[in-house]
Structure 1
Amino acid sequence: MDSETKAWLQHYDRQKIILPDRFLPEKDFIEYHNDVIFIG
């Protein structure tokens, strides 16, 4: 990950996630992204 992207993401560290009122992502979708897409 480049330093600019890392700095941008660190801005959101420990911030509260505001969930949408509808159209919540499926648990399988989140798990797939955590396990496959966001490796590293």
Structure 2
Amino acid sequence: MTLGLCVILCKTMSRTWLWHRYVISCKTIARLSASQCDPM
């Protein structure tokens, strides 16, 4: 999974969740899955 794909998924989730929840969740997901999204 590329970092770009993770960003796209984050933006897609923003359409489903409330904005503030999206921001918090997106940042949390990015931290937890950073190694999976960007192995570098």
Give the TM-score normalised by the residue count of structure 1: 0.31
Higher helix share: 2
Highest CA radius of gyration, 1 or 2? 1
By relative contact order (CA 8 Å, sep 6+), the higher-ranking structure is: 2
